[in-house]
Amino acid sequence: MAIAEIISASGHAHTKDIAERLKVKMPSVTNALQALSARGLIRYQSHSPVVLTALGAEIAAVILRRHNALKSFFTEILKLNSDEAEDAACKIEHVIGEKVMSRIVTLREAIAERGDCVALREYLDGTMPQICADSKIAREDLIPLSELAIGHTAVVIKVGENLRGVRKFADLGLVNGTVVTMEGFAPLGNLMRVRVMGSSLSIRSNDAAHIKVKITQ
């Protein structure tokens, strides 16, 4: 795909350009090119530019179309910015099949164009960017509960799915949005105590590490 883009930009692709674009080392590119060449998708000889075969060009076009379809879904419907959309599309295009892809395309077109989706479009315009902003903050400010400084207060934002006994913690009030205050650690070992809803709970720090919190003050 990268090769196709470079070719469309400059007519041909050099191994060096490909390596720069994909941010990989030259030998890896050489390896990959040899593999593609073996499958008859490109014509490749050392020290000369890479050229797509007819079959190669056809496949490249399909790949490019898929990529762009996903990217526009991310930008138009999920309201991600171009970089985020590019990033997400690159990751997802390799794992979904043609059927899923064509349905995503249909969904995008339906939402973007159909007259009965006006209200939905407005809703998405309003809601999606907010979610985006939130997750961005979350990523920067979240710390594991186990690393909260003594005496500091924080809000539970996310309870990790790997946490053992998740429901037990939930029963005791460790759910999203709960305010917790770090009270200290036990002598030896890894027990810590946190104030949750007016009572003091003692839990293991390795469990607490799965609970992500955001400091309030």
Partner 1 sequence: MKQIYRVALAGNPNCGKTTVFNLLTGARQHIGNYSGVTVERKTGRCRIEDIELEIIDLPGIYSLSSLSPEEKIAFDEILNNNIDLILNIIDAGNPQRNLYLTTQLAELNIPMLMVFNMIDDAERNGLVFDFSKIESFFGTQVITTVGTTGKGIQELKNKIFELVKYPHVSEPCRLKYGESADSAIADLSEKIDKLGLALTKRLPPRYFAIKMLENDETICSISELESLRTEILPIQERLTQRHGISAETFMADRRYGFISGVCREAIHISNERRRQFSDNIDKVMTNRWLGIPVFLIIMYLVFQFTFIVAEPMMGWIETFFGLVSWSIEEVWPTDTMPLLRAMVSEGIIGGVGGVLVFLPNILLLFLAIAFLEGTGYMSRAAFVMDGFMRIFGLHGKSFIPMLLGFGCTVPAVMATRTIESERDRLTTIMVLPLMSCGARLPIYALIIPAFFVNQYRALIMLIIYLIGIIMAMLGAMLLKSTLFKGEDEVFVLELPPYRMPTLRSIIIHMGERCLLYLKKAGTLILAASVIMFLINTFPAKTEFSVDYNAEIAKVEQTPGISSEIKSTRIAELETGRRKESLEYSLAGRIGRSMNVVMAPLGFDWRINSALVGAFAAKELFVSQLGILYAVSDADEESSPLRMHLVSNYSPLQAFTIMLFCLLSIPCIATVAVVLRETRSWLLTIGQMIGLIVLAYLVSLIVYQGGLFFNIGTEMVNVINGA
102/200 with CB nearer partner 1: 200
Smallest distance, partner 1 to C-beta of residue 62, A? 30
Q: What residue ranges bind partner 1 (CB under 8 A)?
A: 159, 161, 164-173, 175-178, 183-191, 193, 196-204, 207
Smallest distance, partner 1 to C-beta of residue 157, A? 11
Smallest distance, partner 1 to C-beta of residue 175, A? 5
51/191 with CB nearer partner 1: 191
57/201 with CB nearer partner 1: 201
8/200 with CB nearer partner 1: 200
Nearest to 203 by CA among 162, 155, 145: 145
CB 142 within 8 A of CB 171: no
Smallest distance, partner 1 to C-beta of residue 125, A? 21
Distance CA 1, CA 6 (A): 9
Q: Which letter, b or e, does each residue of 23-57 get, where b requires 16 or more Cβ atoms within 10 Å of its Cβ?
A: eeeeeebeebbeebbeeebbebeeeebbbbbeebe
42/159 with CB nearer partner 1: 159
Cβ neighbours of residue 11 under 8 Å, at least 6 residues apart? none
Smallest distance, partner 1 to C-beta of residue 147, A? 17
